Structure 1
Amino acid sequence: MKKRNGMVLSLLLIFALVFGSFGWQSTSLAKMKTSTESPVTVIKWDNELQEMDGFGGSFAFHKGGSIMRLEEPVRTKILDLLFSQENGIGLSIVRSMIGDGGISDWGNEHYDGPTDTILPSPEEYVWENPDWDKEEFDQYQIWIMNEAKKRGVDTFLSTAWSAPAWMKQNSSVIDNGTAPNKLREDMYQEYADYLAAYVEGYKEHFDLDITHISPANEPDFSGGYSSSLWTPQELNTFVRDFMGPTFEERDIPADIVLGESVGFNEEFALPALNDPITNEYVDVVAAHAYTGLENGGTEPDPEAFHQTQELGKTIWQTEYMNQGSNKQTFEHNTITDGLRYANLIGNMFEETGANAYFWWWPAANNGADGSDLIRLVNDGSDRGIAPTENGQFRIFKRFYTFGNYSRFIQPGYQMIEADKHPAEDIMVTAYKDPQTDNFTIVAVNNSDQNQEITFDLEGFPGDAEAVIPYRTSASENLEKLDAVETNDNKFSMELRESSVTTFIPKQFELPALPDMKDVFSSYVAAENDGQSSGLQTMESKAGDKVITNVRDGSYIKYTNVNFADGSASGQADKRGILSMNATVAPIAGGTIEVRLDDPENGKVVGTMEVPRNGNPNDWKTVSTMIDTNSTDGANGFHDLYLVFTNDNHSNKKMFNVKEFQFSDEVIE
């Protein structure tokens, strides 16, 4: 009896100790949870900032023709990818070039100019000539504007690179070195009438409403293509005394855009802004972003548009791209480049109050990947204007990160206040549609670690019960993810490393974009589109999901991979050069076959040898060059299979697999 009582007392003592310890531990865990709660960004519905005018791009220098010449269904696919909010990134502004006619040294030489002018000589406008070929006139730009209209675009900016040659001091639309590359002062009124007639004529003859017009593209640049120099004071004089009054007298509906200098600042519009007469005529202050950016080209000077902001004027960034040979590399088409532009766009909106952001050529056939969001591949022929399009295209990561904004922020939205940096390397900006209560939150994770962030939707309408994330990362292209429920107008989400995630309310969800993969993405083994039986997924020591239990004959599959012309880098000397790297942890070792379209009978376009007798936690990189021949190689669209084999067909575990990446070189 005493023994039993002793046991009971011992059990009670143990219970008390455990209970007491449990109580202490619970308190500690509660404190730990509180101290490690995810960082919070508070987004304030009622703290309204600038109105958004949208996102755009240019099709100057015949680039609309690059799309127009494509055969169906590729032509429609490209147009939808650019302008459709349902099936693409929803661009909402088209920037066109006011044609200068291309006559160099008036009456003597001919320069293959970018497009037709409405006034090729002082005598008459083209539509006054009975022999005028309306169908051929400026056909590429007119076609692309009409295609954009069909997809909901109603904002059209037309910019003059140069006046016609006969109005210029050097009788040329380019810098020919004979005289200043400038408009003659005695032609200021002629030029103002010319710009007014352009707006009137495009409405009358093509039913196109030019909503915005800019008299000078890059007035601080003079070169071997259409260009014209202006000083800031000359622009002020021209708009104040000629263009503004002419537009007012003729009731021209287009808003006047001024500036468009090479650098992102208000310098070339400042005299006009400070002139009380000119100021009334100027609607938009615009600039390009080729200079004036800091921190690797992602941060503008917050004071760059100080006077513009003081006056409450609209600010547009109307041209930028990856310029220079050092930017025409494989890396500048990957998520590294995509993150750069995601940061730049958000910073421009938040720091300078910009209302619109433009890419240079959204889609084009040219010789430099960095100029485009979508590169239309050509056949290398010489047509005088550009080589012939072959129907293939390359979509870069910046297309998708640009789309993380442009697809979900439409004209009329307002930027609203958000805690921009709730954690290191995180950037959050937010926007709302005051008409519908739709909203858009864009979160950029610049770190190499996943980070959970809580979004506190202060003052938001109460019917946002869930949000839909759309994510672009190294392995995802505006991927539509599962809905995230809100609780008390808050939600939390782990932002994937090196990613851009856009959140919109579930009641306004948009469909997933058409599934297209590319050579600029990484391929996470555990996120494949299909795999053979027996393969397993586990978490590595570093927290990554990896494929294990790899045996002879097993495989994983990725659907609809766009190899285009099989190039990692589109430069002429790199065409057709493509490699693949695999991150593996060897066990018994073996071979990875890169096959197209079928795991057993598909063409083998590369082979990677995995070392034998390794450590399953010791990750290595193995590589192979890829056969990209246009007959049966990795060229165009294919399903991609990674097939795992060994020499003796044994059933041993061969290796673990983390991910695959394309490149333009083999990693030794």
Structure 2
Amino acid sequence: MVAGLTALSAALLAAVAHANSPSYGGSSGPTIKVDTGCKYQEYDGTGVSEAFQRGLVIHELNAASQNLVLDYLFTTKGAGMTILRNGLGSATEDPFDLMKSIAPTAPRSNSSALNFIPLPREDEYQVWLSHQAISRGVNTIYADAWSADGYMKTNGTDSYGGYLCGVTNTSCATGDWRQAYADKIVKYIQDYQAQGIAVKYVGFLNEPDLNTTYASMQSDGRQAADFIEVLYPTLQKAGLKTQIACCDGSGWQQNRERLTGIQEAGDEDKLGLVTSHGYSDYPSYPFNTSKHVWQTEWSTFDPTNYAWYSGGDGFQSDGITWANNIHNLFAVSNANGHLYWWGAANTTDNQSLLFINGTSEVRVTGRLWAHAHFGKQFIRAGAYRVDATVTGSSALNVTAFENTDGSTAVQVINNSNDTLSVTLQGLNFRNGAQTWLTNNQHNLTEGHAAVQRGHSGVVAKVPAL
């Protein structure tokens, strides 16, 4: 195997190699030392969602554009993502932008059997999308509910917040609906199972700290634990291997508060995954948990921006910004997985990585190429993040991951206005080093970060902004 260096510019550079390099001598520029003997968290992957019927938008593209979108998202032609987050519906109907429930009509009582219907339009084309994604190498389906059905909640609607009837500090004339909600989630997973799709994780909350005009349900940590105590045995009784994910808080601090409540209730062991978004509070520290942690939704909402680096108003949605966001998530917060919001959508802001216009036009953003440097072309299942330290420059952000085959991917982000001659040490470059560059002129272009051997490592020129 060779070393691989991915550079995102400013530049994001990536390299791949075996540990324990012979000694070479470097440049006068910054030095990156990789230590594969110092391992941190396991890598689970990157991903997106097409909830709220964006799977339908992809499905309606002509064949060439449809394949282009799917390949850009899920193959090494693009982002190489391996996780798909589907929306578990709660609406009574399904005009565009809503996700219909599989139990839209209230039963006679909270203890009556739910009135299940088949997956509406094959779950708003999420079944079709799941098959397409899996055929391109996606290995994890995460199903998440934004809310319980309205008749199960304190406010009688699946929108505008409200709480699940039966959890702490709720009082509903219709009684406790926790078991009914758990039964609905189990049926949804079974419906996917019948389609040959395994749902690995299931969530029952989305941004439970918020009250929104669209599907939403509020919950604190104690209330989340109240439902987990019902959902967990219900999944087990049904013989499902699906694990519970919680709680998709709107930001890192908001989710930490809910995780703490679950821990204090003694129910952390029932979780398979801790999930949070990056909106209200950026990922900036590790959670105090032994469970794997994913950032499961994050985007920006400013006007349409395709740039890698715009140097202007689009900076928060620039590709270079998202390269740094993903770096911080893995290197600072020790997360195991990163999911953007929509992968492709007919939107006029930056909620998606790919913009769709009509049935044929597809435009790619710099944000997609930032994700590609952290995708499966370089980091694969079972990889671990390893130590990577930088000396000689504060402009570089560096992450490194060792794969199970002994290869190592190193992502180098140059946030300066200067091309930097960077020496990479600590790896075995006996078979050479491969490089990939993304900046305003290159989209994951192989070989454009010039590499040569020095006396203490390999030297790569990482371009400026």
Q: For residue 205 of structure 2, what is the amino acid of its counterpart?
A: A
| Deviation of the 1:414 alpha carbon | 0.8
Q: Which residue of 1 aligns with 2:284?
A: 301
Q: Which residue of 1 aligns with 2:157?
A: 172
Q: 2:122–2:128: 8 Å Cα contact kept in structure 1?
A: no
Q: 2:396–2:414: 8 Å Cα contact kept in structure 1?
A: yes
Q: 1:349 to 1:422 in 2, by over 3 A?
A: farther
Distance 1:68 1:35 in 2: 51
The structure 2 residue matched to 1:363, chosen from 311, 322, 344, is: 344
The reply on whether 1:404 has 2:373 as its aligned counterpart is yes
Q: Which residue of 2 aligns with 1:76?
A: 67
Distance 2:26 2:307 in 1: 39
TM-score (normalised: structure 2): 0.84
Q: Which residue of 1 aligns with 2:280?
A: 291
The reply on whether 1:478 has 2:444 as its aligned counterpart is yes
| Deviation of the 1:252 alpha carbon | 1.9
The structure 2 residue matched to 1:350, chosen from 312, 328, 331, is: 331
Instruction: For residue 171 of structure 1, give the secondary structure of its aligned residue in structure 2.
Output: coil
Q: 1:52–1:414: 8 Å Cα contact kept in structure 2?
A: yes
Distance 1:125 1:487 in 2: 69
Taking only aligned residues, the RMSD between alpha carbons, in angstroms, comes to 2.4
Q: For residue 279 of structure 1, what is the amino acid of its counterpart?
A: E
Distance 1:443 1:35 in 2: 17
The structure 2 residue matched to 1:118, chosen from 102, 113, 122, is: 102
Q: 1:56–1:93: 8 Å Cα contact kept in structure 2?
A: yes
Distance 1:353 1:420 in 2: 18
The structure 1 residue matched to 2:83, chosen from 88, 93, 109, is: 93
| Deviation of the 1:243 alpha carbon | 1.2
Q: 1:362 to 1:422 in 2, by over 3 A?
A: farther
| Deviation of the 1:367 alpha carbon | 2.8
The reply on whether 1:143 has 2:123 as its aligned counterpart is no
Q: Which residue of 2 aligns with 1:375?
A: 355
| Deviation of the 1:169 alpha carbon | 2.0
Instruction: For residue 219 of structure 1, give the secondary structure of its aligned residue in structure 2.
Output: coil
The reply on whether 1:245 has 2:245 as its aligned counterpart is no
Instruction: For residue 63 of structure 2, give the secondary structure of its aligned residue in structure 1.
Output: coil
Q: 1:161 to 1:62 in 2, by over 3 A?
A: same
The reply on whether 1:269 has 2:250 as its aligned counterpart is no
The reply on whether 1:451 has 2:417 as its aligned counterpart is no
Distance 1:433 1:275 in 2: 37
Q: Which residue of 2 aligns with 1:39?
A: 30
Q: Which residue of 2 aligns with 1:653?
A: none
Distance 2:28 2:220 in 1: 55
The reply on whether 1:218 has 2:186 as its aligned counterpart is no
Q: For residue 149 of structure 1, what is the amino acid of its counterpart?
A: I
Q: Which residue of 1 aligns with 2:21?
A: none
Greater RCO structure (CA 8 Å; 6+ sep) = 2
Distance 1:454 1:63 in 2: 44
Structure 1 residues not aligned, in runs of 5+ = 1-33, 104-109, 294-299, 378-388, 499-668
Q: For residue 354 of structure 1, what is the amino acid of its counterpart?
A: A
| Deviation of the 1:242 alpha carbon | 0.6
Q: Give matches, 1:582-661, under 5 Å.
A: none
Distance 2:26 2:385 in 1: 31
Instruction: For residue 291 of structure 1, give the secondary structure of its aligned residue in structure 2.
Output: coil
Distance 1:115 1:182 in 2: 19
CA distances 1:83-112 after superposition (whole Å, capped 9, x unpaired)? 012x22211000000011335xxxxxx976
Q: For residue 418 of structure 2, what is the amino acid of its counterpart?
A: Q
Structure 2 residues not aligned, in runs of 5+ = 1-24, 108-112, 167-175
Distance 1:495 1:209 in 2: 42
Distance 1:247 1:168 in 2: 21
The reply on whether 1:260 has 2:230 as its aligned counterpart is no
Distance 1:169 1:395 in 2: 42
Q: 1:286 to 1:350 in 2, by over 3 A?
A: same
| Deviation of the 1:160 alpha carbon | 0.4
CA distances 1:590-632 after superposition (whole Å, capped 9, x unpaired)? xxxxxxxxxxxxxxxxxxxxxxxxxxxxxxxxxxxxxxxxxxx
CA distances 1:550-604 after superposition (whole Å, capped 9, x unpaired)? xxxxxxxxxxxxxxxxxxxxxxxxxxxxxxxxxxxxxxxxxxxxxxxxxxxxxxx
| Deviation of the 1:332 alpha carbon | 6.4
| Deviation of the 1:126 alpha carbon | 6.9
The reply on whether 1:490 has 2:457 as its aligned counterpart is yes
Instruction: For residue 332 of structure 2, give the secondary structure of its aligned residue in structure 1.
Output: helix
Q: Which residue of 2 aligns with 1:432?
A: 402
| Deviation of the 1:331 alpha carbon | 7.8
Distance 1:228 1:464 in 2: 55
Q: 1:49–1:417: 8 Å Cα contact kept in structure 2?
A: yes
CA distances 1:121-149 after superposition (whole Å, capped 9, x unpaired)? 3456676x6xx5x6833141111111001
CA distances 1:197-254 after superposition (whole Å, capped 9, x unpaired)? 22122102x1110001111011011121111111221001211x21122222322211
Q: 1:430 to 1:422 in 2, by over 3 A?
A: farther
The structure 2 residue matched to 1:322, chosen from 288, 300, 305, is: 300
Q: 1:214 to 1:488 in 2, by over 3 A?
A: farther
Distance 2:385 2:151 in 1: 45
Give the structure with higher Rg (CA): 1
TM-score (normalised: structure 1): 0.59
Q: For residue 385 of structure 2, what is the amino acid of its counterpart?
A: M
Distance 1:191 1:169 in 2: 14
Distance 1:333 1:449 in 2: 16
Distance 2:446 2:86 in 1: 33
Instruction: For residue 192 of structure 1, give the secondary structure of its aligned residue in structure 2.
Output: helix
Q: For residue 60 of structure 2, what is the amino acid of its counterpart?
A: R
Q: For residue 54 of structure 1, what is the amino acid of its counterpart?
A: G
Tell me the percent identity.
25
The reply on whether 1:415 has 2:385 as its aligned counterpart is yes
> Aligned residue pairs: how many?
417
Instruction: For residue 419 of structure 1, give the secondary structure of its aligned residue in structure 2.
Output: strand
The reply on whether 1:394 has 2:375 as its aligned counterpart is no
